[in-house]
Chains A and B, each alone.
Chain A
Amino acid sequence: MARQLNSALFIRVLSVLSPVTLLLLWEILARIHFIDVRLLSSPSLILQSFIPLLLSGELLFNTSVSVQRVLWGFLGGSIPGILLGISMGLSPVVRSAIEPMIAATYPIPKLALMPLILLIFGLGETSKIFTIAIGVFYLVVINTMAGVLNIDKIYLDVAKNFGADRKNFYLTVAFPGALPMIFAGLKLGMGMALILIVAAELSAAKAGIGWMIWRAYDMFDIEQMFVALITLSFLGYIFSLFLDRIEGWVLPWKQQV
């Protein structure tokens, strides 16, 4: 018992200690000029840059602009993705009609679509949200369809035997049965959304975390770039915590497995 407790404590300490050690090493290497602070900066310099950015509200403003784009794009991609994915999973007709198109267009890097999207939707918010939505859509639709197809056939038999109509097939079997896979798709989609927001804000944005990174690049302000990068990773962490929380709330039956 005591040994178990000790090793649990050790693991917890280790998980805190290892990043701290890394930061410390980074700082020391920068101080002794082993690494070039003009390119790789140092934790203390980044902190010096971070505080004014935070106090002036600039960081918060840019973060909220990006978060809004990510959220709208995420919703815009995942809701149609879930609906279409369920239909494709349940109906062989829909599946054979849509799947080839999805398979053929999925490998196109979503960034390669950016110029086209900019031409169609202009330089405003829509083009950025749309880029993110497309990236999220593919991951969610593919995972949702796989989730429905993976539902044990016995559950479809039960629903049929107990007289479920089409609506109830969706609501009581296909959707809840596919939910674990849908969440896997949503999590992948969230990662994709964060990748795409930086790229989308490269072109024709006037605010946002991605925009901050590119502006820092233009001004050769390495510290600000690091602040934006760290904010981005923090956002990713918050989003995944948020999705985990929703998953636990929506999938209570998965908890005890």
Chain B
Amino acid sequence: MYDTERISINNINKVFYTNSSQITALKDISLSIGDGEFFCIVGPSGCGKTTLLRILAGLETASSGVTTIKSSQNDRPINSMVFQEQSVFPWMTVIDNVSYGLRMRGIPKKVRNEIAELYINMIGLRNFTHAYPSQLSGGMKQRVSVARAFANDPEVLLMDEPFGALDEQNRLILQQELLRIWEGTQKTTVFITHSIDEALCLGDRIMVMTAHPGMIKAIIDIDLPRPRDIATIRTSLYYNELFQTIWSILRDEVLSNKTSENTII
């Protein structure tokens, strides 16, 4: 489907040790993600999807296995992450938050502010350029977080349930905005979500994970044309069929996860 590979993940295992036991969070994860692909990962909570993303981001190390993200230009950062919870710095204004990655790379203030302003306009926060996060709503803060990652212009965008904490209306708006910005840049994106709907609307492929230990259950292609409109997608027959397919895969996992939790208790 894709000419060039951007991310390769080979035999990743991750084991967490506690005082009395060890927990296998990820088991034998191998996959390849193409350049410019929007790749979604869905799984029951606690299946290690966030751990996998943190390994890709370099924030955690795998117990075994290798991940590589191919670099196309030397001066381009490998990855930038959009975090699940509130992660914009409360002590920086919107523009300082958005230009943070550029500042860390030593790009002069004038240049980085120009780039940041571009993305601030794109997310519709022009009037809040010099506002502090405490003046913004939850949805606006998450937009800043998305803009911060895009402005850094990385090889790969890593998104860890970025809209999970938002209310439904805000989530819809942000999903559509993300699609619009992403379709303009075609950045390779790994997007984690617990929502099948979100994965279907955004992704080119969806990987479904098992729970305890986290393994690859299935990888499903989504053949929906781009540019996409979320409202139109949702009413299509194709969307409903895929939703059923994925849910039937996922339901077993969620249920088995529940029973295993019950037996532990």
* A residues lining the B interface (CB < 8 Å): 154-155, 157-165, 168, 172-173, 176-177, 179, 251-254, 256-257
In the assembled complex, the CB of B69 is this many whole angstroms from the nearest CB of chain A, namely 13
Q: Which of B84-92, B165-173, B207-215 contacts A (4 or more CB under 8 A)?
A: B84-92
**Contact present for A154 and B134 (CB under 8 Å):** no
CB of A170 to closest CB in B, whole Å:
13
**29 chain-A/chain-B pairs, Cβ below 8 angstroms:** A154-B85, A154-B86, A157-B87, A158-B87, A159-B104, A160-B58, A160-B59, A161-B57, A161-B58, A161-B59, A161-B80, A161-B81, A162-B77, A162-B152, A163-B77, A163-B101, A163-B105, A164-B104, A165-B104, A168-B104, A172-B89, A173-B89, A176-B89, A176-B91, A179-B91, A253-B92, A253-B133, A256-B132, A257-B134
Q: Quote the shortest CB–CB distance from A88 to chain B (angstroms).
A: 20
Chain A neighbourhood of B79, CB < 8 A: 161
Known: A158-B87, A179-B91, A251-B91. 11 other contacts (CB 8 A): A154-B87, A157-B83, A158-B81, A160-B58, A161-B57, A161-B81, A162-B100, A172-B89, A252-B132, A253-B90, A253-B92
CA distance A163 to B92 in the complex (A): 17
Bound-state CA distance A168–B104 (Å) is: 8
A257 to B81, CA, bound (A): 26
Knowing A157-B83, A158-B89, A253-B90 touch, does A163 contact B104 (C-beta < 8 A)? yes
Bound-state Cα–Cα, A164 to B90, Å = 17
Q: B104 near A155 (CB under 8 angstroms)?
A: no
B135, CB-defined interface residue at 8 Å = yes
In the assembled complex, the Cα of A257 lies from the Cα of B135 at a distance in Å of: 8
The residue of chain B having its C-beta at the shortest distance from the C-beta of A173 within the complex is: B89
Asked if A256 contacts B135 (CB within 8 A), the reply is: yes
Taking Cβ atoms with an 8 Å cutoff, the residues of B that contact A are 57-59, 77, 79-81, 83, 85-87, 89-92, 100-101, 103-105, 132-135, 148, 152
> B58, A253: Cβ atoms under 8 Å?
no
Residues of A within 8 A of B92 (CB): 172, 176, 253
Q: What A residues does B57 contact at CB under 8 A?
A: 161
Tell me, rounded to whole Å, the shortest Cβ–Cβ distance linking B39 to chain A.
19
A177 to B92, CA, bound (A): 10
Q: Which residues of A contact B132 (CB under 8 A)?
A: 252-253, 256
Let me know if A172 and B86 touch, CB within 8 A.
no
Contacts of B80 in A (CB 8 A): 161-162
Residues of A within 8 A of B83 (CB): 154, 157-158
Q: Which residues of B contact A164 (CB under 8 A)?
A: 104
Q: Give min CB distance, A223 to chain B, whole Å.
A: 49
Kindly state the separation between the CA atoms of A185 and B90 in the bound complex, as whole angstroms. Answer: 21
State the CA gap A226–B103 with chains docked (Å).
56
Q: In angstroms, how far is the closest chain B Cβ from the Cβ of A209?
A: 37
Whole-angstrom distance between the Cβ of B247 and the nearest chain A Cβ: 31
Quick check: A162 and B89 within 8 Å, CB to CB? no
Q: How far is the CB of A179 from chain B (nearest CB, A)?
A: 7
In the docked arrangement, what's the CA distance between A173 and B90, Å? 10
State the CA gap A161–B149 with chains docked (Å). 10
The 7 A-B residue pairs with the shortest CB-CB distance in the complex, in nearest-first order:
A176-B91, A253-B132, A162-B101, A256-B134, A163-B104, A161-B81, A154-B87
Query: What is the bound-complex CA distance between A159 and B148, given in angstroms?
Result: 12
Taking the closest CB of chain A, its distance from the CB of B45, in whole angstroms, is 18
Could you tell me the distance in whole angstroms from the C-beta of A215 to the nearest C-beta in chain B?
Answer: 47
- Nearest opposing residue in chain B for A252, CB measure: B132
Residues of B within 8 A of A254 (CB): 134
